[in-house]
Amino acid sequence: MKNHLFSLSKIGLLAVYLLALAAFVGAWTSPWSPTVQKAALLLLAVHTLELVLVFKQVRLYRGPLLVSVLLTLLFGLLHWQPLSAQAGHAQPKGRA
């Protein structure tokens, strides 16, 4: 179930980025275009900060480091969190 949720979240992020790019090049004009562009920039900014903070986990990717960096910039924790969990570096969950 968690994998499906991660996949749907990734699809949603890609949709935001693609709509923002389409608005940027003028292929999509809508009253929502500026909002989607701002949301995409905010997501990229947050994921950039996240990349700096969790670079140790990003390096756990078995492929090229550049690919892992790009995936982290696009997807954030949806990319690096499973890597960390597989390596046994998952953060412990707090008790309720």
pLDDT in tens, 59-73: 999 999 999 999 999
pTM, to two decimals: 0.82
Which pLDDT value is given to residue 2?
75
Asked if residue 95 belongs to a domain, the reply is no
Q: Mean pLDDT score of the chain, rounded to an integer? A: 91
Torsion of CA 86, 87, 88, 92, to 10 degrees: -70
Q: Which domain holds residue 82?
A: 2-86
Which pLDDT value is given to residue 88?
81
Residue 1 confidence (pLDDT) above 80 = no
The number of distinct structural domains making up the chain is 1
What one-letter code names the amino acid at 55?
F
Asked if residue 34 belongs to a domain, the reply is yes
Determine the Cα–Cα distance for residues 77 and 59; give it in Å rounded to an integer: 13
Residues making up the chain, counted from first to last: 96
pLDDT band at 87 (very low <50, low <70, confident <90, very high): confident
Asked if residue 92 belongs to a domain, the reply is no
